[in-house]
Amino acid sequence: MKVAIAGAAGQIGRKTVTLLLDNGHEVRGLARKDEQLRDLEEAGAEGFRLDLEADGDERVREAVRGADAVIFTAGAGPGSGDARKETMDYGGAVKLIEACRSEGVRRYLIVSSMGYADPGGAGKMENYLLAKLKADVALQTSDLDYTIIRPGRLTDDEGTGRIDAAPQLGRYGEIPRADVAAVLLAALESENTVRRAFEVLSGETEIPDALSGL
């Protein structure tokens, strides 16, 4: 598949690019900075300069043109203020949704977050979780073939390839970014995850089995 990935130079993004390339997919890595674009090209991806907040709609459409699927794993990051939760975590995801709809790219996978169901109970995370929730709702109410992946707290531990996944897990916990990248790859290749939203944490079940059991 041809996959365009927003946040390609981020921590989950970079791991996902490697996995996609290793598994025979063509990757267009969307990123903002020269050195990130160079790294993506050196890895074997096409580097495409895109700022999801600053760039206009036509540039975003160009970024997804010809792709079979789009992955959104960009984010304003923990140091950002409320304004960028709105322009990036929500607005950036929506710009990409609209571009996919215009260009006929039906498949859209997004890295969302656990905790969205109760943003009011999340203290300092409230505005971030509200932005993620609004992006998820925009995607769920679109006509796209979406997959919404809601990980718990991300760690830099080595991936284990084993997760728990369910629409609601009823517990909170952690998951390595490497495993989220592996979930993105497996979800892309699994029809069973189309028009599905689910939480993921480190667990006991091999990723493909966990996804087919959703």
Ligand X SMILES: NC(=O)c1ccc[n+]([C@@H]2O[C@H](COP(=O)([O-])OP(=O)(O)OC[C@H]3O[C@@H](n4cnc5c(N)ncnc54)[C@H](OP(=O)(O)O)[C@@H]3O)[C@@H](O)[C@H]2O)c1
Residues contributing to the site for ligand X (CB under 6 A): 7, 9-13, 32-33, 50-53, 73-77, 88, 92, 111, 113, 151, 153-154, 177
128 given a catalytic annotation: yes
The dihedral through the CA atoms of 82, 93, 169, 209 has a sign that is negative
Q: What's the residue count for the chain?
A: 214
Nearer to ligand X, 24 or 54 (CB): 54
Q: Count the alpha carbons within 13 Å of 122 in the hemisphere toward its beta carbon.
A: 18
Q: Which is nearer to ligand X, 52 or 197 (CB)?
A: 52
Distance of closest approach, residue 152 Cβ to ligand X, in angstroms: 7
Residue nearest to ligand X (CB): 10
Q: Which residues contact 75 (CB under 8 A, 6 or more apart)?
A: 7, 10, 88, 89, 111
The backbone torsions φ and ψ at residue 55, rounded to the nearest 5 degrees and listed phi first, read -80, 150
Report the nearest approach of ligand X to the CB of residue 109 (Å).
11
Q: Shortest gap between Cβ of 119 and ligand X (angstroms)?
A: 13
Specify the 3-state DSSP secondary structure of 160: coil
User: Which of 50/130 has CB closer to ligand X?
Assistant: 50
From the list 90, 116, 128, 146, the catalytic residue is 128
Give the residue numbers marked as catalytic: 128
